[in-house]
Structure 1
Amino acid sequence: MNYQNDKKTISIPLVVAITLVVGMFIGATFFGKRTSSIDLGSNVNNKFKEILMHIDQSYVDEVSIDSLADYGISQMLLKLDPHTAYLPKQEAVLAKSELQSGFDGIGVEFNIFNDSLFVVSPLSGGPSEAVGIQTGDIILKADSTNLTGSKLSNTLVFNTLRGPRNSIVKLTVKRKNFSKPLTFNVKRDKIPTYTVDAAYMLENSKIGYIKINRFGETTYDEFKKSLQDLKNEGMASLIIDLRGNPGGYMDKATSIVDELVGGNEVIVYTKGKDKSNNYTVNAGQKGIFESGKIVVLVDEGSASASEIVSGALQDYDRATVVGRRTFGKGLVQAPIQLSDGSELRLTISRYYIPSGRSIQKPYELGNQLDYRKDIMNRHNSGELFSKDSVKFNNKQKYKTKGGKVVYGGGGIMPDIFVPQDTSYYNTYLFELFNGNIFREYTLEYAAKNKVSLEKMGYETYMKTFQINDAMLTDFVSMATKNKIPYVAKDFKNSKKYIQTQIKALIARNVWKSKNGLVNEYYQIVNQDDDMVKIAQKQLMK
């Protein structure tokens, strides 16, 4: 399969890839929470405090001692591996909520567009839905905090709308066809978070598809339920999509592997300086799907726990791995909570998958810049577009259970390579995404046409509905009004992709699956997805 990729089009998805990688430097494979009581001696303990005390007492200008301390800690950790990190209290709370089963808030999916905070959807059963917040509402204020203008950001929204359970926030809302703003008092409650995005049967087949976006507190339970539901629908083989999945809790990954492999052999083991951090996880429980073909989809954004799943299944010859070489994160972090609520995520060991290989890519202590450039280097070397550009270390050659040769020292190399397709990418498309045009247009279209679309029904919509030229004209017009100049050549090049995204996002806004699933979106976009097509062919052999 040959794609025509030039340097301009390739550079745009690279920006997305680099953004994705940022999350991985926080560390993704955690053990349980820890506290520290290590005595390093009075000299080391007191030196840092002593310097800060002198600055606080005698420095000529007013400065924030807390900010200086945070900065000093962060700079110190740069001398270690790329995944050891320090999170100030606020960041620690936000990062933790991404993996835990829920957080306390008002329960809305939102979109920032034109310096305004739009409600994409009140979450089903959540506090906002209960008081009457609707899709398309614009939240102007939360208590006395303005949520409009150039200072509006995701961080401001999270800080304002999240809060202690049972606390009340007064929302001032602008609603279409109402001359005056509306006021709602919303009592915050626990909002569930989901990590399985999709679980459905591919059309006219016995192939199930499950998409996991990260490995959080509830991932195993979500996966197991989805797996059983698909088996009940007649699933005989399975696609597990781990593309762009940066990892998460290691025990959730090993539990998923255990559902898919028989026996009681090793799934993963760890080695570190402190022997108390060394342990082995074996299979053992009777799994739901221990027979039947499996394909795992991966790419350069699949890291940590994703690599445990794909690597272990590959080592057992239990699954065919399809895609591109994974990120290569085989370092294990322990979250150590500090006294002020901040958190140290300290690398304590390396993990190894059944063949004995480590998938951690090389790094130099204190040289995080080169490590962060790895995805860019893969792009520049052509690795993302040609299997022949991937270089293996023959000193790290291992064998799977069935004798197939695999390599350690830098991610999981797929059994079937699929090049990155950037043929439809260009600056205009990037600006459309960056300006939230897709989300805003499809939200508006769905709101105006919801009744007729629901009457049509999703199955008919998926098979027959077309994004016509009139819709595309309105879409381009919205972009132009929002200072994204029309580029005819780029639009023509991306037209099919744009149509697919618009159709899928409209479906997502009109029909909502239960338990956080967005099957309608993935059923549409996966029809044009090369990796899914290759996986389907592999499973039908």
Structure 2
Amino acid sequence: MRFSKRLTLLASSALVAGGIGFFSFKTDDRFFEIARNLDIYATLFKELNLYYVDEVNPNRMVKTSIDAMLKALDPYTNFFAEDEIEDYMTMTTGRYNGIGALIGQRQGKSIVLMVYEGTPAEKSGLQIGDEVLKVDGVDLKTRKDRDGGPLDPGKLLKGQNNTAVKLTVSRYGQKAPLELSVIRDVVKMTNVPYYGMVSDEVGYIDLKDFTATASREVRTAYQELKGKGMKKLILDVRENPGGLLNMAIDISNIFIPKDSEVVTTKGKVTEWNKTYTAMNPPLDLDIPIVVLTNSHSASAAEIVSGVIQDYDRGVLIGQRTYGKGLVQTTRELSFNTKLKITTAKYYIPSGRCIQAIDYSHRNADGSVGKIPDSLKTAFKTKAGRVVYDGGGVLPDIVVEAQTPSPVALSLTNKGLIFDYAVKYRHEHASIKPAREFRLTDAEYTEFAKWLGDKEYDYTTQVEKDLGTLEASAKKEKYFDQIQDQLKSLKTKMSHSKDADLNTFKPELKTLLEQEIAGHYYLQKGIKEASFATDPEMKAALDLFKDMNRYGTILKGK
């Protein structure tokens, strides 16, 4: 978790007082071991530079070695080289000087994946799906960076405010490339990309980050929704990786009394240990709240979720959160480089630490999986409900995460859902509002036909399991006895693309509708198009229709 400037200064003074970071408990032997190994490293690097057969890039070599060293500690202690400081500042502030477009690599092409609302990119007419060919005349396909790799168009697009950048783009349906002139400006990546009323009484706030303006954005969204008649609130922290600690404290403070404990940090340097409390009067102590979480809700998002749960202030719905209960402090290094270092663990009001017991081994989706009961400790919320530590925050109502079908994964990963949305956008000048937009059956049939000559093969889990069974049977000499049955099973379970397009039609239609809505209405369109089929959203709205059940959950009955 990233500290605010005030907290970083606190950390700095404590470190200086400790004696250049080694502290009193270090011995002369430890000083010697550090000096000895640094000398070995310097000598080794000198020999590599002098005698290695190819030219050695010092910056890249040192960065690689530092990253490898830090990887042995935890995933959150990171080194930022001088040329990465701008990215670091964007990460902490949410601001950068540029045009406001997300550009990614697809099959060797630089494709506009998202245009952010109100930015220079949107004002210039840049569209999702455009291929960026040149930036200020620099050909992105032929020019390489200094290490010989492909150019990062994002770096070329950043620059001083009020300066123009000339883009040459290829657009679907246009024979000749287009020339666009975009005036750079300060781009603010919002922490709350969407908020609105999802019913007459229920307001919704989508909180996606915790940069320096997160609290202000949530407060503004809350007050506007109250003005529209909001009587119940859904706060969505799914896919939120966390951010600044003080933002987590301030956002929690919106819903809990002043002076309430929010989080306590404890680490090796006892002078840095501190309990943080709500500093301001709350906005609302009574409004019913549902917080939506998933396995990618991490760090500051887990503090807010945990505080709401520990004070029985609202009901959590979704999946267990990520399990990152570690605090990071930023340290200034020489030559304008930085070290983000894990310095403490944090504990939420019930006393539990949500840090996963083993942060190095996770499920494929990033979740911590099932924690053995023997490794968990019970704690109690303010109302006496039992909650546990050991790996994230477990919601009060668990909604199983949806597993995408193999055909959906393949179409998404191959970019075919995206490509069809680009085609659809070109062929339809407008669509209904995102909440109302639906593809007709005839349009879905057209999509299936369009896929006819596209490559998107895949292997289902059943086919993988049959392959494993066959390999095991051969290894253990049972294959001859069961090969006929295996052959029959393979024939029956072999997937058909056409059949899968029909079987998984509801899922694929939903993906298409959300993608297409995004091409017309950007981030807000994607969000509003998801409301009708979002299982966590449905569970929240169902709960708000049964306030007796809501109250029973908070009482632990």
Unaligned runs of 5+ in 1: 1-27, 364-370, 384-388, 513-517
Deviation for aligned residue 1:315: 0.6
Instruction: Please identify, of 213-222 and 168-177, the stretch whose mean Cα deviation from structure 2 is larger.
Output: 168-177
**Which of these residues, 62, 71, 79, is aligned with residue 69 of structure 1?**
62
What is the rounded CA distance, in whole Å, between the counterparts of 1:426 and 1:151 in structure 2?
A: 38
1:18 alignment counterpart: none
Partner of 1:300: 295
Is contact 1:437–1:478 with CA below 8 Å preserved after alignment? no
Under a length normalisation based on structure 2, what TM-score does the superposition of the two structures give?
0.78
Change (3 A) 1:345 1:478: farther
Pair 1:332-2:304 in alignment: no
Q: Does residue 1:106 correspond to 2:99, yes or no? A: yes
- Whether 2:411 is the aligned partner of 1:432: answer yes
Equivalenced residues, count? 485
Structure 2: gaps of 5 or more residues: 23-30, 458-495, 548-557
Look up the equivalent residue of 2:538 and give its one-letter code.
K
Please say if 1:535 is aligned against 2:540: yes
Q: How far apart are 1:51 and its partner, in Å? A: 3.6
Q: Secondary structure at the match of 1:322?
A: strand
Structure 2: distance between partners of 1:173 and 1:323: 41
- Of 300-309 and 120-129, deviating more is 120-129
| Distance in 2 between residues matched to 1:207 and 1:255, nearest whole Å | 23
Counterparts of 1:123 and 1:142 in 2: how far apart (Å)?
19
Deviations 1:340-372 (A, max 9, x none): 343321111111100111111223xxxxxxx44
Tell me which residue corresponds to 2:34. 44
Are 1:416 and 2:384 an aligned pair?
A: no
User: Are residues 1:287 and 2:265 paired?
Assistant: no
Structure 2 counterpart SS, 1:240: strand
Q: CA shift at 1:194, angstroms? A: 1.2
In the alignment, is residue 194 of structure 1 matched against residue 190 of structure 2?
Answer: yes
User: How far, CA to CA, are the matches of 1:154 and 1:232 in structure 2?
Assistant: 50
1: CA distance, partners of 2:249 / 2:238: 18
* Amino acid across the alignment from 2:400: P
Are the structure 2 counterparts of residues 340 and 431 from structure 1 closer, same or farther at C-alpha, using a change threshold of 3 Å?
farther
Q: Distance in 2 between matches of 1:235 and 1:314?
A: 21
1:409-434 Cα distance to aligned partner (Å, 9 max, x none): 21111111111232xx2222112111
Higher deviation after alignment, 61-70 or 223-232: 61-70
Which residue in 1 is equivalent to 2:493? none
Alignment of 1:496-515 (within 5 A): 496-511=506-521
* Aligned partner letter, 2:381: T
Q: Determine which of 457, 472, 475 is the counterpart of 2:444.
A: 472
User: 1:468 is matched by which residue type in structure 2?
Assistant: T
Q: CA deviation at 1:179?
A: 5.0
Check the 8 A contact 1:392/1:407 in 2, yes or no.
Answer: no
Q: Is the 8 A contact 1:113 1:440 kept in 2?
A: no
1:215 aligns with 2:194: no
Moved more, 425-434 or 84-93: 84-93
Q: Give 2:265's aligned residue.
A: 270
- Aligned counterparts of 2:214 and 2:280: Cα–Cα separation in 1: 17
**Whole-angstrom distance in 2 between the partners of 1:400 and 1:467:** 46
Equivalences for residues 478-497 of structure 1 within 5 A: 478-484=450-456, 487-497=497-507
2: CA distance, partners of 1:473 / 1:115: 30
Change (3 A) 1:143 1:482: farther
Which digits, 9 at most, give the CA deviation of each residue in 1:384-440, with x for residues without a partner?
xxxxx6533476211111111111121111111111232xx2222112111222223
Correspondence for 1:24: none
How much does 1:59 deviate? 4.6
Q: Are 1:374 and 2:367 matched, yes or no?
A: no
The TM-score, its normalising length taken from structure 1, stands at 0.80
| CA distance, structure 1, for counterparts of residue 174 and residue 505 of structure 2 | 36
C-alpha distance in 2, partners of 1:495/1:488? 10
Shift of 1:378: 9.0
**Which of 155, 160, 178 is equivalent to 2:156?**
160
| Aligned CA distance change for structure 1 residues 351 and 506 (closer, same or farther; 3 Å) | same
Question: How far apart, in 2, do the equivalents of 1:178 and 1:447 lie?
Answer: 10
Per-residue deviation at 1:499?
A: 1.4
Q: Which of the residues 347, 370, 392 maps onto 2:373?
A: 392
Structure 2 CA distance, aligned partners of 1:175 and 1:520?
Answer: 21
Q: Partner of 1:344: helix, strand, or coil? A: strand
The structure showing larger relative contact order (alpha-carbon pairs under 8 Å, at least 6 residues apart) is 1
The answer to whether structure 1 residue 344 and structure 2 residue 339 are counterparts is: yes
Matches within 5 A, 1:402-413: 402-413=383-394
Following superposition, the deviation at residue 330 of structure 1 comes to 0.6
> Are the equivalent residues in 2 in contact too, given 1:393–1:409 (CA < 8 A)?
no
In structure 2, how many angstroms separate the alpha carbons of the residues matched to 1:179 and 1:519? 31
Equivalent-residue separation in structure 1 for 2:223 and 2:76 (angstroms) = 35
Task: Tell me the equivalent position of 1:353.
Answer: 348
Amino acid at match of 1:503: E
Of the three residues 221, 230, 251, the one matched with 1:235 is 230
* Cα distance, 1:227–1:39 mapped onto 2, change above 3 Å: closer
**Secondary structure of residue in 2 paired with 1:374:** coil
Aligned position for 1:11? none
Residue-by-residue CA offset, 1:469-507 (whole Å, 9 max, x unaligned): 332233334444442258123222321122122223333
Partner SS, residue 134 of structure 2: strand
What SS is found at the alignment partner of 2:373?
coil
Q: Which has the larger radius of gyration?
A: 2
> C-alpha displacement at 1:95, in angstroms?
4.5
Match of 1:94 in 2: 87
Report the Cα distance in structure 2 between the residues aligned to 1:215 and 1:133, rounded to whole angstroms.
28
Cα 1:94–1:471, aligned 2, differ >3 Å: closer, same or farther? farther
Q: 1:170 to 1:353 in 2, by over 3 A?
A: same
Please report how far the alpha carbon of residue 78 of structure 1 lies from its aligned counterpart in structure 2 after TM superposition.
3.1
Write the distance in 2 (CA, Å) between the matches of 1:183 and 1:378: 42
| Cα distance change, pair 99–449 in 1 and its aligned pair in 2 (3 A) | farther
Deviation at 1:227, TM superposition (A): 0.7
